[in-house]
Structure 1
Amino acid sequence: MVELLAPQLDNVFHALGDATRRQMLRELVMGERTVGQLAEPHKMSLAAASKHIKALESAGLIRREVRGRTHWCQLAPGPLASAHEWLGFYERFWTDRLNALEQLLHADDAAKSKKPTTGEKR
Structure 2
Amino acid sequence: MNPQVHEVFRALGDSNRLKIVNGLLLECQNVNEISEGIGLSQPLTSHHLKILRGVGIVRMEIQATFRYY
Question: What TM-score comes out, normalization by structure 1 length?
Answer: 0.51
Give the equivalent residue in structure 1 for 2:46.
50
Give the equivalent residue in structure 2 for 1:82.
none
Give the equivalent residue in structure 2 for 1:22.
18
Matches of 1:20 and 1:26, distance apart in 2? 10
Q: How many residues align?
A: 68
Instruction: Give % identity.
Output: 29
Matches of 1:42 and 1:31, distance apart in 2? 14
Give the equivalent residue in structure 2 for 1:8.
4
Indicate whether 1:39 and 2:31 are aligned.
no
More displaced 10-residue stretch of structure 1: 53-62 or 40-49: 40-49
1:11–1:58 CA contact under 8 A, matched in 2: no
Matches of 1:38 and 1:8, distance apart in 2? 26
Indicate whether 1:63 and 2:21 are aligned.
no
> Structure 1 runs of 4+ off > 3 angstroms?
none
Structure with bigger helix share is: 1
Task: Give the gaps of 5 or more residues in structure 1.
Answer: 74-122
Q: For the aligned residues, what is the CA RMSD?
A: 1.4
Task: Give the gaps of 5 or more residues in structure 2.
Answer: none
Bigger RCO (CA 8 Å, 6+ sep): 2
2:11–2:51 CA contact under 8 A, matched in 1: yes
